[in-house]
A and B are shown apart, each in its own frame.
Chain A
Amino acid sequence: DAGVTQSPTHLIKTRGQQVTLRCSPKSGHDTVSWYQQALGQGPQFIFQYYEEEERQRGNFPDRFSGHQFPNYSSELNVNALLLGDSALYLCASSLITATYEQYFGPGTRLTVT
């Protein structure tokens, strides 16, 4: 049973560029949440997708956007990258009936120079 997968593993971008991160949820899960984890901190909620719609959003600017596809996979897009966007981006999947149990992928390490 495949768990949550994310790609790419690592990414280096320049300030001002745009980036797209990808996530495939655990088999059977229909809900995807994205988190940003700065070094030495706990994950911070960005947003959650269900039925291809953003259903909840954390305190992140509009530069952060997402998408969910019919197969439940998801993308996180960040525009106009800032140095402060450097972090580990985590995807978590769950069932909509049990969003309290979220299972995380290994993350994408984004470095903005």
Chain B
Amino acid sequence: GQQLNQSPQSMFIQEGEDVSMNCTSSSIFNTWLWYKQEPGEGPVLLIALYKAGELTSNGRLTAQFGITRKDSFLNISASIPSDVGIYFCAGQDAGGTSYGKLTFGQGTILTVHP
């Protein structure tokens, strides 16, 4: 089945630094999404990407849908303490029997030191 490899597994950074994380898949996805999860909460949708090569921003967050459709990255610029949390990539294959199902990566734990 489809698997997503997300890296790095964890990051410890200073406030104000930029952050980059990425996700690779063994198969093609038609949609890539990035979520953030904080303790005791469900994942919150940050950015959705629908087309290969697409670059989308949401405030200090920027994400790109890889040209091969098998990867995506998320950048966070000028990190602040409230960026702390677990970031998940997720992909959806719009065709075949996988329609509707999201496949998630293992998550990147982000810690920001003031």
Q: Could you tell me which A residues sit within 8 Å of B by CB distance?
A: 4, 31, 33, 35, 40-45, 48, 55-56, 58-59, 90, 92, 99-107
> What is the CA–CA distance of A45 and B43 in the complex, to the nearest angstrom?
14
Q: Report whether B101 and A48 are in contact in the complex, using a CB–CB cutoff of 8 Å.
A: yes
29 residue pairs of the A-B complex, CB under 8 angstroms, read A33-B102, A35-B102, A41-B107, A42-B4, A42-B6, A42-B104, A42-B106, A43-B43, A43-B88, A43-B102, A44-B104, A48-B101, A56-B98, A56-B99, A59-B1, A90-B42, A90-B43, A99-B100, A100-B31, A100-B92, A100-B102, A101-B45, A102-B45, A104-B35, A104-B42, A104-B43, A105-B42, A106-B41, A107-B41
Residues of B within 8 A of A107 (CB): 41-42
Size of B's binding interface in residues, CB under 8 A: 30
Residues of A within 8 A of B104 (CB): 42-44
- The distance in angstroms between the C-alpha atoms of A44 and B106, with both chains bound, is 10
Contacts of B106 in A (CB 8 A): 41-42
B103 sits at the interface (CB 8 A): yes
A99 touches B42 (CB 8 A): no
